[in-house]
Amino acid sequence: MYNMDRLYEAVAARGPVCAGLDTDPAYIPPAERRRAASDAEAVLSFNRAIVDAAADRTACFKVQIAYYEALGGAGLEAYAKTLAFIRSRGCLVIADIKRGDIADTARRYAKAHFEGDFEADFVTLSPYMGMDSLEPWLSWADTKGKGAFALVRTSNPGARDFEYLELREDRADTGGGPDGPSQARRLYHAVGDKLAELAASRMGRHGYGALGAVIGCTGREEARAIRERYGGLFFLIPGYGAQGGGAEDAALLLKEGNGGVVNASRSILRAWTAKAGEAGEEADNAFAGEAAREAVIAMGDSIRAAAAKTAGSRGAGL
Amino acid sequence: MYNMDRLYEAVAARGPVCAGLDTDPAYIPPAERRRAASDAEAVLSFNRAIVDAAADRTACFKVQIAYYEALGGAGLEAYAKTLAFIRSRGCLVIADIKRGDIADTARRYAKAHFEGDFEADFVTLSPYMGMDSLEPWLSWADTKGKGAFALVRTSNPGARDFEYLELREDRADTGGGPDGPSQARRLYHAVGDKLAELAASRMGRHGYGALGAVIGCTGREEARAIRERYGGLFFLIPGYGAQGGGAEDAALLLKEGNGGVVNASRSILRAWTAKAGEAGEEADNAFAGEAAREAVIAMGDSIRAAAAKTAGSRGAGL
């Protein structure tokens, strides 16, 4: 059984929210931060509180390693312990590391992030160097069920710089089929198409491969087209909330409310400030955890409601 | 003064070799590996011996972080100490980390790798997500002279998957100039062109920007065209030796023997096995260091000789 199957089942049971532990020390209630021996320790304690409070309504957690690297060796220790804590609670964790390097190096990276101190259930990958930078990770799907999400189309403004570039291809390939003229293929389509092919070689029991795609939450027409084109790819969907995407945008990238997880981080980690204010002297980690849990529930409910509406309009022939 | 200027001067003084410390514990003389308390410690001692022996003939060192991550927390400690040791010897070090993430995250990564435990002089970056994933790193060029090399065209087989894809562009852009019809622009050209533009905003005293490019060592016609197109970009050139590129291929990516560093790793780290045999029971780190130094000198001499020949044929109107 692949972790991607477990993730599908987690979405079915707990909703589509992926809670991002991109924990800047500045996000932590001030009293807790002062109490901790170091920022790295403050981050770890805070993360534990969030995980404990929100786990039963969260499909998975995603940990952005940059926030931990920025705290040096102690930060990476907090990173390792955060991953271990999440997994000890029976939850799935995505290591957001966006690695991408040649085959020999990819094998070392895979060892680093799929076993030992930094073991995660999934990683994120960057495809620029080509498929030989992605394939080595898949042997871990075979042996331990591990999964990965490769960048396809992201939601940052810079996505337009390269991901959206239109490709020059033989006319035979782009002349359109019986459904009319086809759209020009963009770089992100080339990446997604090759990923979909590779994912098909590791197909799980719920119709999704062990390799998925990072698809940012922007643009409705595009979201519909992408969801249709990549039926066998499970999506990791960033760009919700802070980056501008809403519940309906996210829902369009799901299939019947599953087939993807929607990531939010700051709005969850900092939900406590809406209740306690920025200063929040009275707030502690338990308070922050409770606020995070409420934020996760509200977000999950919005996306599920939007997904139900989408399914309804699809059923009506739209 | 940018680190890229210092690198230019190091190449002028010591030759164009970038020694890659992609140190797999299996590369270390067995007696030394047995003697060390852990593989991470063995790696650190070995690295120190290589740096001490080869520093005066090496333009810079490059440390591939994957090899250290694969050893977990202890490996990253060895990574941090390796960087610190190289810099304490007055040498420049490139952290081969190929990071690439949205702006907020890029800022954390830059903090992680340009100060504190993991401080390096240069990093490598992956451009897939666009220019907003690269720009935040450049503020460190302004404050501390730091530099970066972004992936443009790599030398692994998978480079053909995406980097070489031809772009569809307006005819006006591709119709060719007075020198005849222009070549189709590929993805790597689009990346390189935008990098060159950004690098021009941080131009150093030797005619190269603080931002450079990773250009793999393959294909002579292409090498000439790339060197000509990106006159203001300093190149980090992998793919020498083990990956198939030779001295002449590398020399074509230089300008008068400078403007780039040529990376090799395994052929330098494992040079001792050619003298002592794979078993190498008599070999120690000092022996490995001496062999590495000889390998670096031989490699540097080959590239300089090839560069002189190239300059000669260019001078003759070829």
Structural domain count of chain B: 1
The conformation of residue B283, written as its DSSP 8-state character, comes to -
pLDDT at B165 over 90: yes
- Predicted pLDDT at B179: 47
The conformation of residue B99, written as its DSSP 8-state character, comes to E
Calculate ∠ Cα B158-B164-B166, nearest 5°.
145
| Sign of the torsion formed by the C-alpha atoms of A27, A30, A31 and A36 | positive
- Predicted pLDDT at B180: 45
pLDDT at A179 over 80: no
Q: In B, residues 14-73, which contact A (CB 8 Å cutoff)?
A: 22, 24, 64, 66-67, 69-73
- Predicted pLDDT at B176: 45
Do the chains contact at B158 and A99, CB–CB below 8 Å? no
Better pLDDT: A184 or A34: A34
Yes or no: say if B248 and B221 are a contact pair by the CB < 8 Å rule: no
- Predicted pLDDT at A279: 75
| Sign of the torsion formed by the C-alpha atoms of A192, A194, A196 and A198 | negative
Q: Does A159 lie at the interface with B, CB-CB under 8 angstroms? A: yes
Average pLDDT over residues A150-179: 80
pLDDT band at B314 (very low <50, low <70, confident <90, very high): low
Average pLDDT over residues B240-261: 89
Residue B181 sits at φ, ψ, to 5 deg, of -65, 135
Rounded to whole angstroms, the Cα distance separating A151 from B101 reads: 10
Rounded to whole angstroms, the Cα distance separating A222 from A228 reads: 10
Burial A11-50 (b: 16+ CB within 10 A, else e): beebbbbbbbbbbbbebbbeebbeebeebbbbbbbbbbbb
- Predicted pLDDT at A222: 92
ipTM, two decimals, is 0.94
Residue B146 known to be catalytic: no
Do the chains contact at A105 and B66, CB–CB below 8 Å? yes
Residue B112 sits at φ, ψ, to 5 deg, of -65, -35
Average pLDDT over residues B74-100: 98
Average pLDDT over residues B80-107: 97
Q: Does B132 lie at the interface with A, CB-CB under 8 angstroms? A: yes
pLDDT at B315 over 60: no
CATH number at residue B304: 3.20.20.70
Domain with A22, as residue range(s), is 3-312
Q: Does A77 lie at the interface with B, CB-CB under 8 angstroms? A: yes
pLDDT at B21 over 90: yes
What are the structure tokens assigned to A191, written together? Answer: 């990446």
Q: Which percentage of chain B shows pLDDT scores above 70?
A: 92
Q: Poorest-confidence range of A91-105, B185-199, B211-225?
A: B211-225
List all residues 6 or more positions away from B177 whose beta carbon is below 8 Å from its beta carbon: none
pLDDT at B312 over 50: yes
Is residue A318, in this structure, part of any structural domain at all?
A: no
Do the chains contact at B190 and A162, CB–CB below 8 Å? yes
Average pLDDT over residues A141-148: 97
Average pLDDT over residues B221-245: 90
Q: Poorest-confidence range of A215-219, B34-38, B210-214?
A: A215-219
Which entry of A98, A144, A194, A275 is annotated as an active-site residue? Answer: A98
pLDDT at B317 over 50: no
Average pLDDT over residues A207-225: 94
Average pLDDT over residues A195-199: 98
- Predicted pLDDT at B177: 46
Average pLDDT over residues A8-16: 98
Average pLDDT, rounded, for chain B: 93
Q: Does A164 lie at the interface with B, CB-CB under 8 angstroms? A: no
Is residue A142, in this structure, part of any structural domain at all?
A: yes
Average pLDDT over residues A150-178: 81
Residue A107 sits at φ, ψ, to 5 deg, of -65, -40
Average pLDDT over residues A51-61: 98
Q: Does B164 lie at the interface with A, CB-CB under 8 angstroms? A: no
pLDDT band at A230 (very low <50, low <70, confident <90, very high): very high
Do the chains contact at A98 and B101, CB–CB below 8 Å? yes
pLDDT band at B244 (very low <50, low <70, confident <90, very high): low
Which candidate in A24, A94, A99, A102 is best for mutational testing of the B interface (most B CBs within 10 A)?
A102
Is residue B265, in this structure, part of any structural domain at all?
A: yes
Count CB-CB contacts under 10 A for residue A206.
Answer: 17
- Predicted pLDDT at B65: 98
pLDDT band at A18 (very low <50, low <70, confident <90, very high): very high
List all residues 6 or more positions away from A128 whose beta carbon is below 8 Å from its beta carbon: A100, B100, B126, B127, B128, B151, B162, B163
pLDDT at A209 over 50: yes
Rounded to whole angstroms, the Cα distance separating B5 from B206 reads: 6
pLDDT band at B137 (very low <50, low <70, confident <90, very high): very high
pLDDT band at B224 (very low <50, low <70, confident <90, very high): very high
Is residue B230, in this structure, part of any structural domain at all?
A: yes
Distances (CA, A) of A248 to A218, A244, A276, B234: 10, 12, 29, 46
- Predicted pLDDT at B245: 77
Average pLDDT over residues A135-149: 97
Residues comprising chain A, all counted = 318
Q: In B, residues 191-250, which contact A (CB 8 Å cutoff)?
A: 191, 194
Terminal CA-CA length for chain A: 35
Q: Does A161 lie at the interface with B, CB-CB under 8 angstroms? A: yes
- Predicted pLDDT at B218: 78
pLDDT at A53 over 50: yes
Calculate ∠ Cα B144-B146-B147, nearest 5°.
160
Instruction: List pLDDT tens digits, range A254-294.
Output: 999 999 999 999 999 999 999 887 777 889 999 999 999 99
Terminal CA-CA length for chain B: 35
Is residue B318, in this structure, part of any structural domain at all?
A: no
- Predicted pLDDT at B230: 98
| Sign of the torsion formed by the C-alpha atoms of A201, A207, A212 and A216 | positive
Is residue B317, in this structure, part of any structural domain at all?
A: no
